[in-house]
Amino acid sequence: MVKSWEQLEELQPTVLSMLKNSLVKNRVAHAYLLEGIRGTGKREIALLLTKSLFCESIIDQYKPCEECNNCRRINHGNHPDVHMIEPDGLSIKVEQIRSLQVEFSKKGLESSKKVYLLVHADKMSVSASNSLLKFLEEPNPGTVAFLLTEQSQKILPTILSRCQILTFHPLSPQVMIKQLVENGVEPHKAPLLAQLTNSLDEALKLNVDEWFAQAQKIVVKLYEVLKKNPLEAMVTLQTEWFPHFKEKEQIHRGLELLLLIFKDLLYIQLDKQEQIVFREENGRLQQFALQTSGRRISDQMSAILDAKRRLERNMNPQLMMEQLVLKLQEGSSFV
């Protein structure tokens, strides 16, 4: 989905302001490093600036028109002077960088400009990084590079020193909720999705994902049986949780959902109703919040966060969940 300058400016106002000034003053750097977590608009903004550089009918000295031949070809990924490099398997290999260098040693097919985007630049092999470094040290005239990364600490300091670094901040939940509703997500579902991911595309996929819809039901049920007896909670783990949450990433998602239930209980106790994300469960959560204490909820949230850490350290997922359920039930007379 192609986003306009105005839409992206709402997501990353500081970055767009800097780029606007560079374009208006004709001071575009030869290399930019775009760093930030997934879903913050790095690729979209790199392509936006690329269109600004090639646009045949630029608006106000910085906005691409989105309608000229160059803008359309960049949007469709087939402009001959714009190249995108992504990991080949697990890494960006030296052959990919060398091939890029050969390509860029040639004259631009349609103009004196050439742009390349390195997606997941932190995944360059050592030899690829060294090869790119030489490329950055002696840039061809009219060449602009965009290095996109979620982990800038993994990139050679010598490469970082040759780039203008643009830091992309996480989207605020309010902005994310607004974007989701504008894209057809029901208002009562948007707050939960906005808490789980910073990526609009991922949130939209989750919204129509049957596995995710079922995951929410199982997590709510697990919370409810936690309030009853240890046996019923263990039965729910065996019959519903383990068959559904199989992969490590799925288990993390389940723990995130469980954590959000306890956050909602805390928000209810603090009279911050607007921050509740399990909107469809609001009535029942109001009742549950009356039956516990803020201290107890904090302890339970800490137990879930500890379980996520243990899962990351490759603890057996079944043992981890069984221990977590017992921990969450401690002091269950005041759960």
Query: Which pLDDT value is given to residue 6?
Result: 87
Give one word for 37, left, alpha or beta, with left for phi > 0 and alpha for psi -120 to 50. beta
Q: How high does pLDDT run on average in the chain?
A: 91
**% the chain with pLDDT above 70:** 96
> How far is Cα 226 from Cα 166, in angstroms, rounded to an integer?
46
What pLDDT, on the 0 to 100 scale, is given for residue 172? Answer: 82
Instruction: Provide the pLDDT for residue 194.
Output: 93
Q: For the CA atoms of the chain, what is the radius of gyration?
A: 24
Q: What gap in Å lies between CA 145 and CA 135, rounded to an integer?
A: 10
Residue ranges, CATH 1.20.272, the chain:
209-334
SS3 labels along the chain: CCCCHHHHHHHCHHHHHHHHHHHHCCCCCCEEEEECCCCCCHHHHHHHHHHHHHCCCCECCCECCCCCHHHHHHHCCCCCCEEEECCECCEECHHHHHHHHHHHHCCCCCCCCEEEEEECHHHECHHHHHHHHHHHHCCCCCEEEEEEECCHHHCCHHHHCCCEEEECCCCCHHHHHHHHHHCCCCCCCHHHHHHHCCCHHHHHHHHCCHHHHHHHHHHHHHHHHHCCCHHHHHHHHHHHHHHHCCCHHHHHHHHHHHHHHHHHHHHHHCCCHHHCCCHHHHHHHHHHHHCCCHHHHHHHHHHHHHHHHHHHCCCCHHHHHHHHHHHHHCCHHHC
Q: Record the tokens describing residue 105, joined without a space.
A: 């040693």
What pLDDT does residue 29 have? Answer: 93
- pLDDT at residue 334 in the model: 35
pLDDT computed for residue 319 by the predictor: 96
Q: Give, in order, the Cα–Cα distances in Å from 127 to each of 96, 104, 144, 294, 314.
A: 11, 19, 21, 53, 31
Residue-wise pLDDT for 285-335, tens only, equals 998 898 889 999 999 999 999 999 999 999 999 999 999 999 998 754 433
**Residue for token digits 């002696």?**
138
Quickly name the fold that domain 5-167 has: Rossmann fold (3.40.50)
Instruction: Determine the straight-line distance between the first and last CA of the chain, rounded to whole angstroms.
Output: 45
Residue ranges, comma separated, of all CATH 3.40.50.300 domains in the chain are: 5-167
Identify the CA nearest to 104 among candidates 129, 69, 126, 131: 131
CA atoms within 13 A on the CB side of 200: 25
Rounded distance, CA 67 to CA 276, Å?
Answer: 42
Cβ 121 vs Cβ 86: under 8 Å: no
pLDDT at 333: 40
Pick the CATH number of 209-334 from 1.20.272, 1.10.287, 3.30.70, 1.25.40: 1.20.272
Helix axes 294-312, 317-329, angle to 10 degrees: 170
Sign, CA torsion 44/50/52/54: negative
Positive or negative CA dihedral for 85, 166, 19, 181? positive
The structure's pTM equals: 0.70
Q: Which parts of the chain have pLDDT scores under 50? A: 332-335
For 242-276, what is each residue's pLDDT tens digit?
Answer: 999 999 999 999 999 999 999 999 999 999 988 99
